[in-house]
Chains A and B, each alone.
Chain A
Amino acid sequence: QQPVQSPQAVILREGEDAVINCSSSKALYSVHWYRQKHGEAPVFLMILLKGGEQKGHEKISASFNEKKQQSSLYLTASQLSYSGTYFCGTAASGGSNYKLTFGKGTLLTVNP
């Protein structure tokens, strides 16, 4: 089942923060976050495995609450380059049955 992302879109001014949420109705093995710019392929941001961890990548971090089957992506002090559509992809299992199901995406626009 497709994970649900919220919000669908968000507009920020440079330097502002944003949170993008991803929730699933199924138990999750991992959550993957990607950013896609118009006309380009998705770029891998980070992966979170079950165990309730949090990861950071410069000013972008994410958390994964395994019990709630939710993940959140945190963008702090946003930059113009952060603009794009953010997708979460979820996997119910690893190993040979591994595959990702992507949410509908969150369009982030950062204005000067």
Chain B
Amino acid sequence: GAVVSQHPSRVICKSGTSVKIECRSLDFQATTMFWYRQFPKKSLMLMATSNEGSKATYEQGVEKDKFLINHASLTLSTLTVTSAHPEDSSFYICSAKRGGYNEQFFGPGTRLTVL
């Protein structure tokens, strides 16, 4: 149980394009999903918290117009990196949490490379 998937696992795009990353909870309903960013050999940095059906809460310093988050259902959240630039290249990981529980379960991550 508690399986989270992400798609795509890897994406390479040109500078200026937008990229959408999907995060799905496969066997449970995720009332809250989290999006993290991780640079090589660094810790996980929380970007935003999204609750199903409401607007995402972004961490300080994260541009909400650049990183669009949608949590339209209890099993799906999407992160869209708009007008991507090389500095956006990173490992993006989502996690999901069930209502009433404290554990977060991570997806396998998406490695984004912007050329």
Question: Which A residues are within 8 Å of any B CB, using their own CB?
Answer: 2, 30, 32, 34, 40-44, 47, 49, 87, 89, 91, 94, 96, 98-105
Contact = CB atoms under 8 A, between A and B. Distances in A.
Interface of B: 2, 32, 34, 42-46, 49, 51, 93, 97, 102-109
Given A42-B93, A99-B49, 15 more contacts: A30-B102, A32-B103, A41-B108, A41-B109, A42-B44, A43-B106, A44-B104, A87-B43, A89-B44, A89-B104, A91-B102, A94-B102, A98-B32, A100-B104, A101-B46
Main SS at interface, chain B: strand
Contacts of B34: 99-100
B107 A47 contact: no
B109 A40 contact: yes
Contact of B46 (A40, A43, A99, A103): A99
